[in-house]
Structure 1
């Protein structure tokens, strides 16, 4: 009888599964509903007959919709010899399809005022856009068209342009960046050559050079079917209407080949494996990586908590043994693969040490692990980490894009298993101290690891190390059974797909309702209620920042003071304070910019009172100990030296110096110079705090699940803050006059990329005058993805991964700047094209079509402006700090609608002085110098002091 019942149950279950697979109508797989007081992402999960998985998350907080399409294919599905396909295809998916013209995808979304992008990791590729809700159907039409109608639009020219763009991206973001090769080297020693995580997601250049357009088409036909994809629609939507649209646009797309779950053997290292790599860096770095388990393995949560216990916060052993002891500048530990971890897991330690080389970092790491094995993990550490994880999950839910990301991740990592926020939190809450120690001893203590040692080239230390030979290909191309017999089948429809959907009436943005209160000491409090999550965020802006003293010798003092504010207080050591704050899952951080010092506070509402007690301690009772100062000063100075190896940082600093002048505080970096930081003392920090941390020059913005009547009494402690009667200096511009356009060349020996900055000192900020109009004028030239500059240098020429132009301004004039990194061999050509585009734009002006595009894009973006607490706070802070009317956005929109082609084109003539600009180039002088001279500009050799 039992056997009969079991067989009957199996038959029923198989019948249900077949019904889900073979159903002629969409099947509801799961439904999660919101309950009052519960942290939840409500959703419906459907499966279309062609296998497409659909999630719908309904949230009417803001009039926006987010669409995210995830294909369960990443670099792990590539074959040896052909790495980089998944990422390459991410680029090709933006190049048009049968019914969407070349570059039109970006243009349509930007016309809507929306945002969009795509990303690739080992395990998946995703494409997403956030748009005003009236563009929901348009966004689904766009995504469906490239899922079902892409291949006929793929041409050899597009293929070659994007191949060049991807290679530029690798040069700009990997090869030419300090420590950029770290992950690639680590993968090639941690994983065997036949493991799908062996090669980098962006691919090896030799593999990229090898492949052809037909290979790319085969990759699409094999992996980009609807049965290997999910669509998440989140936001101000109606689920029934969403399903109708999804069925209409995606339902007829034919199923692709069946996709089996990938299975690989766990990584087992036969011994410790070492790789040494000489890089253009100042500070040595050691990364130690242990092979562990994939995401959602039973031990995954315990390993994540272990990483935080060991390497996060001022109570961790990594902080105590490396940072506080001044053995290293940075030290961290974490569990997880940065680029997808469906098939394997990693536990990482990273230590950035000082250049003296006096400490045996590997030996100290072993001693640290032995110490942890003996001391174990205590209850408070577990409370700290779990509270921080809970707050982190909440912060990930602040936007519809964040919630959609949770759902799409569950699709490719969990398949049809149910996922909920509650279960996600529970898998961490269930972890015990015993679990943490068990996984430590099972996967870390005494186990073999991959060691990547990156050291400064051309040093004494370098001569004693044998460098690893970089891998150039993922292997020899073999017979690829997966790609045999593939055919491209287009959908057959009963409607005209070439007709772009009609766009409904634009929704009115939900502008935050702002309350305002000035305290007796002059501090101005602004706030707005945001009920979506039980979280409260506070943002202080203290006027002054780096320019407060108007003294170049003291540059960096504001930033150094902010760092010291994060250290010990009168009643707490650094470790004690961090322990109390972390147990609440709260954060308090200080930072400084040119014009302001900032304080940011975030906490769960239930912990607000306790967090404010700690804020009072931190704000009013800093200790400024000599021990803390010595450590922070050393870390800051070494960090500044390290930045000298970053081409982009060098270009930015040189550009500021040339525009504002060598003797201007406005030209000085906020973090300071090596000389200025070394000259400062703890007395300087105390002086800056005493003089400039004052309520009458401070504004506070509160955003969160709290009313005005609730928050104001809780802020009464701020009334104790004593006024300092601050007199800020009147910083005046004394910028050098640019008599003619010249090139300033900074040599970066053997660099394969060049960083370019072009511009001049333009305008101060205003919200309704020439500065505002200048930003509108610049939009078609350099202010969006489809700008003339980006279409030329990236999409047509393949010189760069991206270029942008923009105006920035404060109370004083800020620069007009064009910024990009380009292939070294194209440096002179890129400069020539930049000036060619500016010349054409200044003489002929924008077209009426470009003006219409700019107006629609800038105006429609209002719907997306106020979604998250951070966006709301930024909007209110702008009003507070710039003393703007609360309806300034409405005023700008009215002005925008009235702007004419004649007025903006006249501005282009006035504000693009081609003969009086600065050109900064950081590149290999030996390779680019002579060709730059042929452009006709004077070429000056330049060094950043």
Structure 2
């Protein structure tokens, strides 16, 4: 279990959080460039060479109505990413209307005049992937990746909500989405540390600063949002002259211009938008705040206000915080975590928005260490760094890591971080689609002195020190004055649900279907017999390699749970030739990422690196896999991190529920019956002999396979792998074996386990049962698609009921938990505390009716099959997705072209085949329901359901 930080990184990442709506040709590089001949870890490719690989050529034009359009052509797959960015965010909200930008993001998914149904229905009809919407301080965006034949439909859909939305906003929709957003707020607030971001914003950007409130807004302002308010908000901010459309993928600029003119051209300009200006405020003096929450260890974090993204010092500040606490080799990590072992995790970052930003450093105290000592040492290290500045090597390592991540990320055309988003964010926030390139150019020549000067300028100003201690929260949650629900519709005014269509705009047909061309997979063996599975992808000059071993958490003995996690966490914490600091620095010089992780059934080591640095990266990977030192001091350090992580899981609603449910549905003695990270007692008792024994029994060449996706041919890959792994032989000890035996019987009747978590504004419901489904069986995909009607996607009945109809939840899902030897079915539902009983009753009713009398409808079948077929090309756009698919095929004994065969399988599905698959798998009367919430509020509600209720205390 790798832990950059147990809590510090989690708290710091709150600064980056965006509010989201849902729960889940031209080569960039010269593919013929030779692999670097570097034979040692000292010879990575030059930074300037790497930066030259980052190119996103585009054409830009502006329509007469002011809409900016950017087009990038990438013909590697028959898909197009469409991103629409509006230059309005929470910083632009007037007093009394906080949360409006985010609320409107939700409303814009609830249908427009010519597309009146939920937008996710239309997205699924198109076979869209990577679709979502987000709001932050500065902008609101919507994005989707669609098959090329569906591009015109996608443009019609986005243009309808830009130009023809108001007639579709009803009082019913407003009330419902107000409730959904308020539950989104409760869901975030309910997490350990969930109130920290409010304190940061309030302190660093005090009212009336435009950044004085978070994008989620206040319960009171959301309660008071009137129909007139939201209509005026739309008219003022969502005109084409305040928007940017980006198309990236299998489309030319000429094709794009014709279609964008057709659908967006007739939309009238809106008012001239003037996004809020904002200065970077400075605290008059240092501020110290102490908060308490359900956290496992004390976190000390310091925050400074900082300049926005267009400031000339942006890159220097980002690199400085990476060196200080963001990289694995960071100074805070080296001193506080590795050398002095005062902390179990550290963090640092430069979180920048358009006008302002936040600089952060933090550390989570190791249990048993006085937090005051950690804080004092943290302050000393920050002061020392500012006084001395970074070294040239530190700056180059940070820069190389950033460039390498950028190159690998730009393989994707859409999603949260692909090429469309890169171009759109530059245009909207910096008035330059090439903003990313400007920052990389600065990175190429950045000097240690520039980094030091920027840190001295901004991190010597007064700071907020926020200490988050274990304990009960003080004060009350902000709660809504009224709760939107389905019952509200009975009292609404006449016509509150009627839609007005101001202009008929028929949706264009989708004439053809794009087909998936999954890469051909080749197979060979290394000199030592390890099987190699290889596929070529040349969109980016990168190589991805996974060494997968038949272990996973299922290999843990019942009395040694957490062993696999502890052992894997130690492989890159020192080898017989390098200590953990040297490993981190070597990886950063190469721009390589070597992740070590476990799943239920496999333990894996994954390398992602630029192909120019393949050989030295493989040498580093080989040292980590083959020669871990398992030094006693490192064992104790990583053990402390893992135990702290376990303690945090015991305070987090989702983890509490999962830990409670697993032994019930699988059996306490089953390999699947425990938590992946183990228990405090089991991890405390593990010895070095246990750890070395795990390596010898499981991490060995006769127990593993290698999976590769690369722009380099298989011959080069095989030769490089043989050079570093070809002589690796299995040890003499026997290979490990797993014992599954008999799992727990499925209960004869449903029951409820209520875990008391006081002062929770939301309850987390997790229901589950083990099924007879086998992932190797051809009916498995029938089970998956049948579940897509019940709980498997946004439009499934469970989510549409509790989220879109009743507004009691931010999102509900039903999903299989697929393991090699068992498949369980889970239903997860975070719901507002005062509706816990009602929500669980609805989950039980909805599931029961689906299984008994209301199976898959014809409309659901058509929508699901169309979506699954259409999504196939977009699902395997990236090398990482292909790599994962190859591993699944190997685990479940599937043919290499398994995913290409799915379209025909989907076409053959019927309502009956889907109903039969789901009904054979689950029984609504035999679920175990775990509810994590405040028992004083929840227990009386649950007692009305007629099921046995067992109450346990958190941590038991």
Deviation by residue 1:897-927 (Cα, 9 ceiling, x = unmatched): 2222223333444333122121111111111
Give the drift of 1:185: 0.8
Partner of 1:214: 228
> 1:260, CA displacement in angstroms?
2.5
> Residue in 2 aligned with 1:902?
912
Instruction: Indicate the residue corresponding to 2:950 in structure 1.
Output: 940
Look up the match of 1:345: 357
The corresponding residue for 1:276 is 290
**Distance change (3 Å), C-alpha of 1:197 and 1:831:** same
Aligned 8 A contact 2:291 2:469 in 1: yes
Is the Cα contact below 8 Å between 1:39 and 1:421 reproduced in 2?
no
Instruction: Tell me if the contact between 1:564 and 1:632 (Cα under 8 Å) persists in the aligned partners.
Output: yes
Say which is worse superposed, 163-172 or 111-120, in terms of deviation.
111-120
For 1:374 and 1:84, the matched residues in 2 are separated by: 41
Q: 2:530 aligns with which of 523, 527, 535?
A: 523
Secondary structure of 2:804's match? helix
1:371 aligns with 2:384: yes
Alpha-carbon spacing, 1:35–1:869, altered in 2? closer, same or farther (3 Å)? closer
Separation (CA, whole Å) in 1 of partners of 2:720 and 2:743: 45
1:428 and 1:184, CA in 2 relative to 1: closer, same or farther beyond 3 A?
A: same
In structure 2, how many angstroms separate the alpha carbons of the residues matched to 1:270 and 1:323?
32
Deviation at 1:330, TM superposition (A): 1.2
User: Does residue 1:794 correspond to 2:806, yes or no?
Assistant: no
Alignment-derived partner of residue 858 in structure 1: 868
Counterpart mapping for 1:176-215 below 5 A: 176-215=190-229
Aligned to 2:926: 916
The match for 1:333 is: 348
Q: Is the counterpart of residue 251 in structure 1 residue 265 in structure 2?
A: yes
- Please say if residues 558 and 592 of structure 1, whose CA atoms lie closer than 8 Å, have aligned partners that are also in contact: yes
Please give the alpha-carbon distance, in whole angstroms, between the structure 2 residues aligned to 1:706 and 1:33.
14
Within a 5 Å distance, the mapping from 1:766-785 to structure 2 comes to 766-785=775-794
Distance 1:730 1:277 in 2: 46
Which of 742, 758, 773 is the equivalent residue of 2:767? 758
Aligned to 1:719: 726
State the distance in 2 between where 1:472 and 1:297 align: 38
SS class of match (1:799): coil
- The residue correspondences of 1:558-573 to structure 2 (distance < 5 A) are 558-573=564-579
Farther off after superposition, 896-905 or 137-146: 896-905
Distance 1:71 1:317 in 2: 39
Deviation at 1:316, TM superposition (A): 2.2
* Mapped partners of 2:109, 2:548: distance in 1: 40
* Residue in 2 that maps onto 1:381: 394
Per-residue CA distance 1:104-142 (angstroms, 9 max, x = gap): x21121133212110000000000111111110011000
Q: Relative to 1, partners in 2 of residues 1:791 and 1:491: Cα closer, same or farther, differing over 3 Å?
A: closer
Distance 1:671 1:636 in 2: 7
Residue 497 of structure 2 is matched in structure 1 by: none
Describe the shift of the 1:357–1:727 C-alpha distance in structure 2 as closer, same or farther (beyond 3 A).
closer
Q: 2:819 aligns with which of 785, 810, 815?
A: 810
Q: Compute the RMSD of aligned alpha carbons.
A: 2.1
Deviations 1:293-316 (A, max 9, x none): 110211111111101111133432
Q: CA deviation at 1:182?
A: 1.2
Query: How do 1:463-862 and structure 2 match up within 5 A?
Result: 496-497=504-505, 499-549=506-556, 551-716=557-722, 717-724=724-731, 726-844=735-853, 845-862=855-872
- Cα distance, 1:421 vs. partner? 5.0
Q: Secondary structure at the match of 1:665?
A: coil
Q: Once the two structures are superposed, what CA deviation does each residue of 1:581-609 show, in whole Å capped at 9, x if it has no partner?
A: 21111121211122111111111111111
Give 1:392's aligned residue.
405
Task: Give the match's secondary structure for 1:800.
Answer: coil
Structure 1 residue 492 displacement after superposition: 8.9
CA drift of 1:332 comes to 1.2
| Match for residue 93 of structure 2 among 59, 66, 78 | 78
**Are the equivalent residues in 2 in contact too, given 1:277–1:468 (CA < 8 A)?**
no
Query: What's the offset of the Cα at 1:374?
Result: 4.3
8 Å Cα contact 1:41-1:421 kept in structure 2:
no
Q: Distance in 2 between matches of 1:880 and 1:586?
A: 26
Relative distance call for 1:535 and 1:245 in structure 2 (3 A) is same
Q: In structure 1, the residue corresponding to 2:469 is in which secondary structure?
A: strand
Compared CA separation, residues 749 and 491, structure 1 to 2 (3 A): closer
**Alignment equivalent of 1:412, drawn from 423, 428, 434:** 428
Instruction: Name the SS for the 2:206 alignment partner.
Output: coil
Q: Report if the CA contact (8 A) 1:542-1:693 is conserved.
A: yes
Contact 1:802 1:821 in 2 (8 A): yes
**Secondary structure, aligned partner of 1:67:** strand
- 1:403 offset after TM fit, Å? 0.3
**Bigger relative contact order, structure 1 or 2 (CA pairs below 8 A, ≥6 apart):** 2
TM-score by length of structure 1 reads 0.90
In structure 1, runs of 5+ residues without a counterpart are 1-31, 474-489
Which deviations, in whole Å up to 9, do the C-alpha atoms of 1:743-800 show, x marking residues without a partner? 1111111211111112311034334433332112111111111111111110001111
Match of 1:930 in 2: 940
Secondary structure, in 3 states, of the residue corresponding to 2:144? strand
Q: Greater Rg, structure 1 or structure 2? A: 1
Q: How much does 1:34 deviate?
A: 7.2
User: What does 1:149-188 align with in structure 2 at a 5 Å threshold?
Assistant: 149-172=164-187, 174-188=188-202
**C-alpha distance in structure 1 between counterparts of 2:98 and 2:167, whole Å:** 23
1-structure distance, mates of 2:325, 2:237: 38
| 3-state SS in 1 of match to 2:726 | helix
Distance 1:858 1:469, change over 3 A: closer
Q: Give secondary structure in 2 for the equivalent of 1:533.
A: coil
Name the stretch that deviates more: 640-649 or 203-212. 203-212
**Per-residue Cα deviation, 1:595-636 (whole angstroms, up to 9, x for no partner):** 111111111111111111111221221111111011001111
- Distance in 2 between the 1:256 and 1:384 partners? 47
Conservation of the 8 A alpha-carbon contact between 2:315 and 2:439: no
Aligned equivalents of 2:917, 2:309: Cα separation in 1: 54
Contact 1:59 1:234 in 2 (8 A): yes
Q: Note if contact 2:181-2:810 (Cα within 8 Å) is conserved in structure 1.
A: yes
Q: Report 1:874-889 matches (<5 A).
A: 874-889=884-899
Q: What CA deviation, in whole Å up to 9, does each residue of 1:172-199 have, x standing for no partner?
A: 1x21000111111100011121111110
Q: CA deviation at 1:933?
A: 1.1
Output the CA distance in 1 between the equivalents of 2:402 and 2:811. 35
Once residues 419 and 501 of structure 1 are traced to their aligned partners in structure 2, the CA distance between those partners, rounded to angstroms, is 33
- For residues 346 and 450 of structure 1, the distance between their equivalents in structure 2, rounded to whole angstroms, comes to 11
Q: Which range is displaced more, 753-762 or 107-116?
A: 107-116
CA 1:265–1:393 in 2, change beyond 3 Å: closer, same or farther? same
Matched, 1:224 2:238: yes
Where 2:926 maps in the other structure, the secondary structure is coil
Report the TM-score when normalising by structure 2. Answer: 0.89
Distance 2:200 2:827 in 1: 35
Of the candidates 70, 94, 97, which is equivalent to residue 112 of structure 2? 97
Query: Partners of 2:820 and 2:595 in 1: how far apart?
Result: 26
Contact conserved, 2:410 with 2:419, CA < 8 A, in 1? yes
Cα pair 2:555 2:671 within 8 Å, conserved: no
Tell me which moved more, 607-616 or 107-116.
107-116
Which of 437, 446, 450 is the equivalent residue of 1:435?
A: 450
Give, in whole Å, the separation in 2 of the partners of 1:135 and 1:824.
41
CA gap 1:580/1:908 in 2 versus in 1, 3 angstroms = closer
Q: Is the 8 Å Cα contact of residues 768 and 892 (structure 1) preserved in structure 2?
A: no
Q: Pick one of 50, 54, 61 that aligns with 2:69.
A: 54
Q: Which residue of 1 aligns with 2:496?
A: none
Q: Are residue 305 (structure 1) and residue 319 (structure 2) matched? A: yes
